[in-house]
Amino acid sequence: MTSVSKSDLPFTLKKKLNVVGEIMKINLDHFSTGYSGKEILHDLTFEVSSPGIYVVLGKNGAGKTTLFRSMTGLLKPYSGTIRYNDVELEKSDVKIAYLGHRDSIPTGLSVENALKFFARVEGVPDESINDVIERFGLKKFLGQSYLNLSQGQRRRVSLAKSLLGEKELMILDEPTSGLDPKISSEIRELMKQESKDRIILYSSHNLYEATDIGSEVIAISEGKILYAGEMSGLSAGHYRIGIRGAGIEDVTSNYTKDGKYYVFDLKSQDEAADLVSRLTSSGAKLYEVRDISNTLERFYDESKE
């Protein structure tokens, strides 16, 4: 497993994509910040300069949410800078869509009225509402109260709301947290489509999810960058997932049991994705899919040596 020392900074993550129009650039230069004088992020330096999905990967408490709050201007730096298109954050006019852990939509509104309300706040025309309704498949929910929607449906509405008025950057803080695997997969597919003409920063502590949605990763621990580069650098070799669900025995017998989990030893994340697809299409109900190969634990341990 590759570890990264300070001598390897700065990190530059780029993808070769055929995109028409101006390409946005994000640059963090020796950025540190925290809360009430306590430093949480330490001397972060990296650059992202091509459209696509970049996964910010780390265990709970690693500093992912603090990083995202900083990138939206909610937290001020102790030192260093954040620049968008070579302009410091405070002076930048970049349009950012931010989705945190909690949805920020009034529960008493219908989906249609909620979108209209936020469109007025954003100062965007009705055409923008129609656009996100189409992109996120919301037409059949328009008359329903937001309060009565399922978690997955609420998350679709929140993502649509965040994209009213075209945004150059999306920052998504564990957007599939609490959702079942099928809905989570649908959300990731929507984000893959949205990433064709913008940068998406997507945080997760789940390696299976991270490898399903992105090919580039920024791995952080205790507020420091341990690795930035291709996802394969983290998950090369042995790959083990645990699936909690029902009806799995009816589809395959190539597993071992570990408590509530059906454990599968695989060669790659692609093989894992194929397995999940085969199980769901064959009628199995999946409640949770997680990486249990301890890839992140090994990576963190080796980086500290």
In tens digits, the chain (305 residues) has pLDDT values of 333 333 343 455 544 333 334 557 999 999 999 999 999 999 999 999 889 999 999 888 999 999 999 999 999 999 999 999 999 999 999 989 999 877 778 888 999 999 999 999 888 888 889 999 998 999 999 999 999 999 889 989 999 998 898 788 999 999 988 888 888 888 899 899 989 889 999 999 887 788 889 889 998 989 999 888 887 766 555 678 999 999 999 999 999 998 899 999 887 778 888 999 999 999 999 999 987 765 555 555 555 54
Alpha carbons 206 and 20: distance in angstroms, whole number: 32
- Judge if 89 and 135 occupy the same domain: yes
pTM: 0.74
Q: CA 284, 287, 292, 295 torsion: positive or negative?
A: positive
Residues 250 and 273 in one domain: yes
CA–CA dist 93, 106 (Å, integer): 27
Q: How far apart are CA 290 and CA 141, in angstroms?
A: 31
Of 9, 55, 26, 68, whose CA–CA distance to 216 is shortest?
A: 55
CA–CA separation, 292 and 217 (whole Å): 19
Residue ending a domain, among 194, 211, 235, is 235
Is there a single domain that holds both residue 42 and residue 92? Answer: yes
Domain identity same for 231 and 266? no
Domain that holds residue 252: 239-294
Phi/psi at 140 (5° precision): -75, -10
Report the C-alpha gap between 183 and 153 in whole angstroms. Answer: 9
Starting at the edge strand that comes first in sequence, how are the strands of the sheet with 261-266 ordered?
Answer: 256-258, 261-266, 239-246, 285-291
| CA nearest to 171, candidates 66, 77, 290, 269 | 66
For the chain, the C-alpha Rg in angstroms (whole number) is: 20
Residues 61 and 204 in one domain: yes
Residue 1 lies in a domain: no
The answer to whether the bond into 181 is cis (omega within 30° of 0) is no
